Structure 1
Amino acid sequence: MNSHALETLRTSPDLAELAAYPFNVDLDRADHLEAVHLASGVPTEAWAGDDTGGTYFHCEGGQVLYASSDGSAGLIGDSIDEALETLIGLPCWHDLLHHIPPDADDDTLTAAVTEAEEELSEFYGPELDADRSRLLAALGLRELPAPVLVRRLHRALLRTEPDFLLLNSQEGLAHGLLDGLPRPPLWQTVLAPGQADLAALRADRTLIATVAADPARREGVLWAARYDLNPDDTSMLRALLGESPRPEHEHEPGCEPEYEPVYEAAQDGREPSAEPPLTWAALARRQGRTELARAALIRLLDDAGPRDASLLDGLVVEFAALGDHPQAARARWLFASLQDDPGQRAAALTDLAAHQRRAGDTDAAARTLKQAEALTGSEAMHDC
């Protein structure tokens, strides 16, 4: 953690005490309540906490992630220095995460911060402004206008997912979002490259060979055409299909890169929002957007209910394709619990054991195989 400001806090007890109160950045609270990790696998290190049980984590790339004690998390800065500027400059930052329009003007943001700090002043006294200026100056940090800090905080929060999705290490469950800021739906994010390529092909048909040579781009164009098919697209789409090899994953749910399904969807007036979310998560994976796919799949798994056996089965396939066997095991365990037929449950448990073994949990895999054997009485389970 290369931060002069942090080193200054660590070697200056009076400044560290001021940071802890009233600015609620306490170096002695760098101990989170539970084991957590990023879904992406990027290493993190706790460096401070607050009096609510929340913790500030430094990510390997320099970013700072805040995790609350109630199971939510969000990115709050691209560096420790930037995070400290925000935390000291906006000690009321928790009150600015909801109900503020992302396009609010300076006057609206200033008024919101002023109102929140008036409440803080009732507890901290009139010295809040002076203490803020003194601490920032001592740490070599900037004292920025409130609207600048709020907008920078919001931009950081919007970058939390997919790369900084925080998980409970024991159960694999995702933390909720720290803020209430609006975000585009998954389908919009995943469909955007295909829409851009479709527009480019309409303007320049010489690009067909280039797009056709990339299975992910080719599939993206076909998906985009489903919801925006022009009469003049027919020859271009047939050329795109005829000049390229078929992708390896045509058998997977949601992957139908044939011209007729494109035409039928366009004729039916189907909207991308009507497609199952698993469709878009799978397409994100095939586009190579691994963390976007992983985050979407984990959210789907966390929200899965007792009637979602088909979804859970599809999630196992997608997690396995990502090489994320811990999450695949979690999905298969839930799927197995929904199987009433002993043989089907035994088969699901056998597959669960395989994912547990690939995840490195050989003891759990052995226990799961015993459960499967108890259901079938078959020693052949050891061959899974």
Structure 2
Amino acid sequence: MPLILLLGLAGFASAVSLRATDPMLGLVAGDLGVTLQQAALLSSAYTLPYALMQVVLGPVGDAIGKALLIRIALAVLTVGLALSAVAPTYGTVMAARILAGGFAGGIIPGAMALIGDRVPWSGRQVAISRFLIAVILGQVCGSAAGGPVAELLGWRAVFGLSAGLTALVCAATLLGLRGQGGPRARLSFADARSRYVSVLANPVSLAVFATVALEGFLVLGAFPFVAPMLGGHGGSGAFEAGIVLVAFAGGGVLYSLTVRHLVAGLGQWRMMQAGGVLFGLCYLSMALPLAWPAVGAVFLVAGFAFYMLHNSLQTQATELAPTARGSAVALFAASFFLGQGAGPVVYGALAHRAGFTAPFLLAGTLMIALGFLGVRLIRR
């Protein structure tokens, strides 16, 4: 099985488990007897451990081999999802999400680092965009299936089906990733520290990490509030929220199919700036009296714009430290998910005071600035 295809399956399974909860948080809140703001913290319970564990998983991947790390991460993610399906209380669901998120952090970053090892720089952005198609399709399936399955069979069934999918992909990687690990190195605290020192010695690193952290906070941090925000646009349930989130992911697929032409026509820097502006305008349009299907169309454009910026940052991350690529991509992912994990906390407080549209207006305004600021910092 070709490497990109197999890594894509792993990324697909990881993305399903990440996005499946977003459209069903209202159902989870009602069943467990908690507020919507508390249910939204289940997203942070996945994304924050995902981010924090990168500090450990990056050097581990560089030492034991990125292919082995991906297989281990898939196995533990399967266990975490299965526990999420049977956990009886809000606290135990939270604990299971923490376990799942912590080890899911070894899959997509590990796959991107492995692509960086195997694909030359000239073709890397296109190769990563092909891998992203699988990840985005996972987001599509998670968002699209999460809401309807939760309404038909209950939210626990969503976690159970995700666990079964991840188990199948884990079995496939046990065979398909043999011989892809590359040379192994010594695993120790001193070795890990030296790898991180080499990453941070590159002055571009901090600019890339800061930009992607803000991007995660502004864009994906608001996703748990898509369902309640749609209440002001005529959408009233998990089904409508799932459709809108699918549209966002669909925009990412369109980007992946056109990336070669975009890079050739705009260049990486202008593409990042255009992505920030276009995305910001999409989120700002949530203040308009749009019907919820029109909001879905806007989110399709927003997904396209988001990946114009994000995929460029991903490609930069794979070249920050070629001799410690796993550690560099891990810090990149940690920054992105720390920003994403902080989003529901901050936006929850803002939504409580100013309404569910307010987070999208704030994020849209700041994203326009981020496209230009990120390019300026990285190029300097």
User: Do the structures match in fold with TM over 0.5?
Assistant: no
Of the two structures, which has the highest relative contact order with CA contacts closer than 8 Å and spacing of 6 or more?
2
Query: Smaller-chain TM-score range?
Result: under 0.3
More helix as a share of residues: 2
User: Could you state the TM-score of these two structures normalised by the residue count of structure 1?
Assistant: 0.22
User: Could you state the TM-score of these two structures normalised by the residue count of structure 2?
Assistant: 0.23
More strand as a share of residues: 1
